[in-house]
Amino acid sequence: MRGPRAFGLSLRFVLATAVLLVPALAAAEVELRTGPAGRKVVTNENESQRARRLAPYLVAPAQDDLLPLIERHASGQGLDPLLVRAVVQVESGYNPAAVSNKGAMGLMQLMPATAADLAVERPFEPEANLRGGTAYLRGLLERFDGRIELALAAYNAGPGAVQRYGGVPPYPETLDYVRKVLSLWRGESLPAVVPARLQGGAGALPSARPVVWRTEGPRAHLTNLQR
């Protein structure tokens, strides 16, 4: 049986621990959000932290109204909405206010010059950003003959870099980007470590069945199915 002295020591330890924890809890930015189906969620996790935690999986955005926007603009450009969701998740973590250290803006991280070319005057507005980003991705697919890995590489590194290397540029960031987006889109788990250079030459990708941009009558779509 524990004596009064031992009990007193334990109580003082618990109280001291609680005192130490209070400032940490107080410092966290706890907020009340509305989650799926109108449920209220208390969280101290911001959009960037949520994106990092859920990065290995394709997840729904915290803002319920983004999914219908993604679906509409992706379908309007003949793109798979899951592909656009993967791009948005990797680019910004579904954060409409995201700004990169290079100045890319919004959900699909449009560079200022790209936004101007696409007549996107309010790049931090989800509707405008998705309209411009999906149009840009569609244009890259057409430019690179429907090769999705090249279009994604061009989205990250610029079409000029893809043309110079004749494939996915051997930049670690771009190789990582293409693998992440393709893995999320295909429902695969992301590798824990992505090598800077892959076997098979600059920009070589895993030997998955190639995804192509196919036109059938008036409709065009992405597919990895053979005829």
Q: Is 91 a catalytic residue?
A: yes
88 domain-assigned: yes
Give the torsion sign (CA, 160, 166, 169, 170).
negative
40 domain-assigned: no
Which residue range(s) make up the domain with 109? 47-223
**H or E element that contains 162:** helix 159-165
71 domain-assigned: yes
CATH code (residue 110)? 1.10.530.10
177 domain-assigned: yes
Cα 187 to the center of its chain, rounded Å: 14
- List, as one string, the DSSP characters of 186-225: HTPPPPSS--SS-TTSTT----PPPPEEEEETTEEEEE--
Which of 45, 47, 71, 91 is an active site residue? 91
pLDDT digits (tens, 9 = 90+) for 96-141: 999 999 999 999 999 999 999 999 999 999 999 999 999 999 999 9
Q: What three-state secondary structure class fits 155? A: helix
CB within 8 Å of 166: residues ≥ 6 apart: none
pLDDT digits (tens, 9 = 90+) for 138-187: 999 999 999 999 999 999 999 999 999 999 999 999 999 999 999 999 98
Total of domains in the chain = 1
pTM higher than 0.85, yes or no? no
